[in-house]
Chain A
Amino acid sequence: MSARIGVITFPGTLDDGDAARAVRYADAEAVPLWHADADLRGVDGVVVPGGFSYGDYLRAGVIARFAPVMTSVIDAARKGMPVLGICNGFQILCEAGLLPGAMIRNVGLHFVCRDQWLRVDDNTTAWTSRYDKGAEILIPVKNNDGCYMADKSTLDMLEAEGRVVFRYVDGNPNGSRNDIAGVRSENGRIVGLMPHPEHAIDALTGPSDDGLGLFLSAVDAFAKA
């Protein structure tokens, strides 16, 4: 039986289609999850995709964090279910307190949309086991509020515990502290990143297929569970 990975749609979500496609490329079943429905439909893991949930009103991700589906995701994540937050999904996981830190407006105030090199600094998570530590991958970044911020003690803790999963290389696109592109929870089951691995799963439609490894890693993690 193939793994079942839920993909959430909020009002204003844009990348649920590509996230579901990436799940299918990894030979898993993509299960649509609706923001107003608390039922997780028995999924093994969840992808919180990118976009502009609730129009980014108030702060990016803050209103989505209170949606019925997120109450269930937060419960399940605290019990160890793998969760991946991409872009707005990363912002939502930070607002939900599942990941440390917060995102502010990009330094320079531009919406940045480009193919971006990242280094995989932690391959011990449920979402990155398919990568070699130190591998450099090329995947698109596209956001307005992508500047990762946390206080110094939090940054020191993340660095000391090796919880920076992805780091920008060849130029920091948004001013993120310590060039942080993605971080993980203490147990490595929850990962969030601003760039979009789901847009880089096939050389025909993206800059590379480097992003597919996240979804394949999750499928491996479910097989072991």
Chain B
Amino acid sequence: MARVVVDVMPKPEILDPQGQAVARALPRLGFTGVTEVRQGKHFELDVDDTVDDETLAKIAEGFLANPVIEQWTIRRVDA
């Protein structure tokens, strides 16, 4: 068994209205100095030994992320 983390983020050139809203709210809460916020998704997958890197790449590219608007990273971590 292994823990796999997939992080999905909007591409830098793609507008992120949710991240912008968070960034705009911070000064109103008294937090200054945060110049930009981008909001994405974080997935934790527990996989058995039959799931190879190629399969993980297909899961990320074909399902967890939409390559039109998002980029992603895949990493194995200690569960």
Contact = CB atoms under 8 A, between A and B. Distances in A.
A165 interface: no
B21 A151 contact: no
A184 B9 CA distance: 27
B51 interface: no
Contact of B13 (A58, A106, A107, A151): A151
B17 A108 contact: yes
Interface stretch (B30-38, B60-68, B71-79): B60-68
A151 B18 CA distance: 19
Nearest to B64: A58
A109 B68 contact: no
A104 B69 contact: yes
Interface residues of A, number: 20
A175 B15 contact: yes
Interface string B20-53: 0100000000000000000000000000000000
Contacts of A214: none
Contact of A109 (B13, B14, B18, B69): B18
Nearest to A61: B66
Contact of B14 (A66, A100, A149): A149
A151 B68 CA distance: 8
Given A109-B21, A149-B69, A104 B14 contact: yes
B15 A149 contact: yes
Interface residue range, chain B:
10 to 19
A200 interface: no
A175 B16 CA distance: 11
Interface of A is mostly: loop
A101 B15 contact: no
A150 interface: yes
Contact of A107 (B17, B63, B64, B68): B17
Contact of B17 (A58, A59, A104): A104
A219 interface: no
Interface string A58-86: 11001000100000000000000000000
Nearest to B21: A109
A102 interface: yes
A163 B10 CA distance: 25
Contact of B69 (A66, A102, A106): A102
A92 B37 CA distance: 28
Interface of A: 58-59, 62, 66, 94-95, 100-102, 104-109, 147, 149-151, 175
